[in-house]
Chains A and B, each alone.
Chain A
Amino acid sequence: KAGVTQTPRYLIKTRGQQVTLSCSPISGHRSVSWYQQTPGQGLQFLFEYFSETQRNKGNFPGRFSGRQFSNSRSEMNVSTLELGDSALYLCASSPPDRDSPRVNQETQYFGPGTRLLVL
């Protein structure tokens, strides 16, 4: 199976612009999560989508938004870019829970990330 893919891999934008990043999960996976990684703040959870619905959201301003399509591919959008948005953006996908009383048991698999530089 192909792994999680993210496009583009590198991006340079200027302050005030907006950007859209894309994540294609592993085939069969329905959950997609997004994380921001910076040297100062480390890895922070942005949001998670499952079956086209946002299931959980981190503490980021409303400039950060996302969506998920019926084929489970996900996009995240950052509007009015700031210098502090420069980061590695990682997405991860996981399959639906197995038929078990336990939930959230499936492992997440990460993509290679999109490196965003805001000038």
Chain B
Amino acid sequence: AQTVTQSQPEMSVQEAETVTLSCTYDTSESDYYLFWYKQPPSRQMILVIRQEAYKQQNATENRFSVNFQKAAKSFSLKISDSQLGDAAMYFCAYRSAYIMGAQKLVFGQGTRLTINP
């Protein structure tokens, strides 16, 4: 079974600074997807960024980028120029790329990110 671990329960950063959230995972599969989801106080889960394991290039979405290290099974999220609206719970998630895995997401425990003005 796959597992996802987020070792930082809480992080804080000054507005406009850069912060990196850590995530490691364990799997015996060679093909999979990794995601970062954001959950603000409204509790709506919002996709931040996704990475396909077969792609070596790290995904980037505006101020959000990842550092995907497949051999180390590490998938960190970097938020540049942090904004007050980035304050939320961030979840790292894994999904198999094989049909039997279907649409099952395996989530980490989350990191609560606080932005200090």
List A residues at the B interface (Cβ < 8 Å).
31, 33, 35, 42-45, 48, 50, 55-56, 58, 88, 90, 92, 94, 102-105, 107-113, 115
Interface string of B46-61 (1 = CB under 8 A from A): 1100101000000000
Q: Which residue of A lies closest to B43 (CB)?
A: A113
Contact check, B107 vs A104: say whether CB atoms are below 8 A apart.
Answer: no
A104-B96, A104-B97 known; A110 vs B45 contact (CB < 8 Å): yes
Contact check, A105 vs B33: say whether CB atoms are below 8 A apart.
Answer: yes
A104-B96, A105-B33, A107-B47 known; A45 vs B42 contact (CB < 8 Å): no
* Total number of B residues with any Cβ neighbor in A under 8 Å: 28
12 residue pairs A–B, Cβ–Cβ below 8 Å: A35-B105, A35-B107, A45-B104, A45-B105, A45-B106, A48-B103, A50-B102, A103-B99, A104-B97, A104-B99, A105-B52, A112-B44
Of A43, A56, A90, most buried by chain B (CB within 10 Å of CB) is A43
Q: Whole-angstrom distance between the alpha carbons of A116 and B107 in the complex?
A: 21
Interface string of B88-101 (1 = CB under 8 A from A): 00010001111111
Contact check, B102 vs A42: say whether CB atoms are below 8 A apart.
Answer: no
Contact check, A31 vs B103: say whether CB atoms are below 8 A apart.
Answer: yes
B112: min CB distance to chain A, Å: 12
Interface string of B13-33 (1 = CB under 8 A from A): 000000000000000000001
A107-B47, A108-B103 known; A42 vs B97 contact (CB < 8 Å): no
Contact check, B104 vs A88: say whether CB atoms are below 8 A apart.
Answer: no
Contact check, B104 vs A42: say whether CB atoms are below 8 A apart.
Answer: no
B51: min CB distance to chain A, Å: 12
Q: Whole-angstrom distance between the alpha carbons of A107 and B43 in the complex?
A: 18
Contact check, B104 vs A56: say whether CB atoms are below 8 A apart.
Answer: yes
